[in-house]
Structures are given as C-alpha cells and as structure tokens.
Amino acid sequence: MSVMVFDHPLIKHKIAILRDKNTPMKEFRELVEEITLVMSYEAFKDAKTRKVIVETPLETCEQEMVAEKSIAIVPILRAGLGMVNGVHKIFPNARVGHIGMYRDEETAEPHEYYCKLPEGIENMNVMLLDPMLATGGSASDAIKMLKARGVKTIKFMAIIASPEGIKRVTDDHPDVDVFVATCDRGLNEHCYILPGLGDAGDRLFGTK
C-alpha cells in the first residue's frame, strides 16, 4: 500500500481555482477533469501492456500497448462522474462501472443504493474515483464491494482529502494504493473537509 499526495505546480494552480466559491460550474467541471487527467499518468504507470508489431514509414518494430480490457474505472456516484472523462482522455477504452452511495446527513455514514460493474472486472486494474475523501466511509465501503466481487487490484483516487479519510482507507484496506491531489487540514463538525471546496457534486452539476 502507498499514499501519494501530488506535489505538482500545475495541480496546485488548478486546485486554487477549483476551491474558489466564485468559479462557475462549467470551469469547475473542466478543472476536475484536467486534474484527474494529470493524476492518471502517475496512477496508471503500472498498467498491463502487451507487445505489438507496428509498421512505421521505414520499417516494422516491436512496441507495447495497454492490454485490452485491463483497466476499469469506477466512479462513486454522483461526484465521481466528474472524474471519468479525465481518465478516458488517456485510456479511452477503459471500462466503466458505477457504485451509488449517499451519506446520511445526521450520522455521516454511507449507504449503498446502486452497483453495476463491467463483466470480468475481477481481472482488471480498477481505479475507484471520488473527488472528495472526507471521513473515508464511502470509499472504504465501495472498496469492500469491489473486493466482494472478486476484484484483486484496486486503487483509489481523490482530488481533496482529509487526514481522517486517508487514515480510514489505509487502515481498512492496507492493500489499496491511494492517490490524492492534496490533503487538507481536517473535518468540521458536519464532516466536511476544511478548507475544502464545498459539495463537489453540487458544484459539478449545479444542484445548489
């Protein structure tokens, strides 16, 4: 298990704009996608490859390509949907599953309401996506769901994380690599990340 907190000036720049309460919905969506794309280069550096023969204008040569049906991305609904296109821009053939969870506003506990995963996902390198890693409850439960369906290789990617959320995921699932764009100070009494960026789902889809 490893935890990678990105220290990249481009990501820092984009997160500063992402946090701003005045950033409009369209730009917010684009920033989430762009940050995810930059993070994906590192997160998928161990992607499975296969050897192919390519004919250049001058001769043939042996090259490596990402193996077919080797990558699946699974957003936690609904905010995780905002990260899907960022991965698809570099892995357009990645399969997509969906896990639906919501947080009880009183207890902050996650509840599952939907799960649809690609056929053969147990043999794929699976990246679980959620922009916010707050208490870590939703991420931990979603990882349990994937493991229960036979998935052996799981990674988790978030943009904004709290120390509490990272600890919960790594304690519950020491075999899962965690990638976060930045780690914030902590949680408030309502389990929102501080300084954070508010509710990622609302800002992505304009529901508030």
Among candidate residues 46, 104, 107, 149, the one labeled active-site is 107
- 172 among known catalytic residues: no
Q: Number of C-alpha atoms within 13 angstroms, CB side, residue 160?
A: 24
- Residue 46 corresponds to which tokens in the numbers above? 């161990």
Among candidate residues 29, 103, 172, 182, the one labeled active-site is 103
Q: Is 48 helix (H, G, I), strand (E, B) or coil?
A: coil
- Residue 117 corresponds to which tokens in the numbers above? 């995963």
- Residue 192 corresponds to which tokens in the numbers above? 């929102």
- 26 DSSP 8-state letter: H
Confirm if 3 and 171 have CB atoms less than 8 A apart.
no
Q: Is 64 exposed, middle or buried (0-12, 13-18, 19+ CB in 10 A)?
A: exposed
Nearest-10 crossing angle of helices 81-88, 25-43: 50
Confirm if 203 and 197 have CB atoms less than 8 A apart.
yes
- 103 among known catalytic residues: yes
- 199 among known catalytic residues: yes
Distance from C-alpha of 107 to C-alpha of 87, rounded to nearest angstrom: 32
- 56 among known catalytic residues: no
Confirm if 139 and 162 have CB atoms less than 8 A apart.
no
Residues recognised as catalytic? 103, 107, 199, 202
